[in-house]
């Protein structure tokens, strides 16, 4: 399992970072709520992912993972290298 975290220097919140975890079956998203009591979580099976979009900017890179009927995961403030690695890992596991 590989874990990626949004970066503080790219505008991410240090108390409530975005987290993406990828394994052989799922992509899991996690973010602590602003009150720090709960977590917002979501997961999508790799075989249900339709596309991964990367939107780089000066501050950080946003990643959108779309699926067939299981929702959309959008995360912000990742490095471009992490975003490319996330996209590459998802495409490799889907094969």
pLDDT confidence tier of residue 33, bands split at 50, 70 and 90: confident
Nearest-CA neighbor of 21 among 77, 73, 80? 73
Residue 9, pLDDT score: 60
Residue 35 has pLDDT above 70, yes or no: yes
Partnered with residue 22 across adjacent β-strands are 2, 27
Would you say residue 93 has pLDDT above 70? yes
Considering 6-20, 33-47, 53-67, the range whose residues carry the highest mean pLDDT is 53-67
pLDDT at 13: 62
The pLDDT, as a whole number, for residue 84 is 96
Q: Is the pLDDT confidence value at 28 over 60?
A: yes
| Domains of the chain listed by start with CATH number | 2-94 (2.30.29.30)
Above 60 in pLDDT, residue 10?
no
Higher per-residue pLDDT: 63 or 32 = 63
Tell me: pLDDT of 71 over 70: yes
Distance of alpha carbon 15 from alpha carbon 18, whole angstroms: 10
> Are 11 and 77 in contact, with CB atoms under 8 Å apart?
yes
């Amino acid at each position: 399992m590989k874990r990626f975290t949004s970066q503080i220097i790219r505008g991410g919140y240090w108390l409530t970072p975005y987290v993406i975890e990828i394994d052989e079956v799922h992509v899991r998203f996690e973010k602590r709520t602003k009150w720090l009591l709960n977590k917002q979580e979501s997961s999508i099976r790799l075989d249900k992912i339709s596309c991964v979009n990367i939107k780089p900017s000066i501050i950080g890179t946003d990643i959108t993972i779309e699926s067939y009927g299981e929702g959309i995961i959008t995360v912000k403030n990742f490095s471009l290298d992490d975003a490319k690695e996330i996209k590459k890992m998802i495409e490799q596991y889907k094969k």
